[in-house]
């Protein structure tokens, strides 16, 4: 069975809120998600694009592997962010982008606690 394409900001929000200390907020007048006050995801003004915190290396990898889903605009070229097209992304791609954004935004101590908790629950 093929993966269903298309996800929503509401789905992204539900997923992101499962990560420790993620809260709803706003950024540039649009819905956003932050961890301890640091922006990790934001809905672009078109309501179809999710702006995701990333690393330079991961951004290049995603742009090369999935250029139909991930893209850049000139504004973001100089910053460690990547844009995700919600209408054509899969849930798997969304999950990965959100987890990566959280890992880049959360303090190292919080990331370490989450990793320890995940190992203990296995």
Mention every residue, 6+ apart, whose C-beta is less than 8 A from residue 103.
Answer: 111
Instruction: Specify the CATH architecture of the domain 9-120.
Output: Alpha-Beta Complex (3.90)
Q: Where does the pLDDT of residue 37 fall: very low under 50, low under 70, confident under 90, or very high at 90 and above? A: very high
pLDDT band at 31 (very low <50, low <70, confident <90, very high): very high
Angle at 106 between CA 49 and CA 63, to 5 degrees: 40
pLDDT the model gives residue 4: 64
Residue 1 is predicted with a pLDDT of: 45
Half-sphere exposure of 97 (CA within 13 A, CB side): 32
pLDDT tens digits, 65-76: 999 999 999 999
Q: How far is CA 5 from the centre of its chain?
A: 17
Tens of pLDDT along 77-110? 999 999 999 999 999 999 999 999 999 999 998 8
């Amino acid at each position: 069975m093929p993966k269903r394409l298309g996800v929503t900001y509401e789905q992204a929000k539900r997923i992101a809120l499962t990560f420790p200390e993620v809260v709803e907020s706003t950024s540039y007048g649009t819905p956003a998600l932050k961890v301890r006050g640091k922006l990790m995801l934001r809905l672009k003004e078109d309501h179809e694009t999710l702006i995701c915190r990333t690393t330079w290396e991961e951004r290049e990898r995603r742009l090369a592997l999935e250029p139909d889903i991930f893209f850049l605009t000139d504004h973001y070229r100089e910053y460690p962010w990547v844009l995700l097209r919600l209408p054509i992304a899969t849930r798997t791609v969304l999950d990965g982008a959100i987890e990566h954004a959280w890992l880049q935004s959360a303090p190292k101590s919080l990331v370490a606690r989450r990793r320890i908790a995940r190992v203990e629950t296995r």
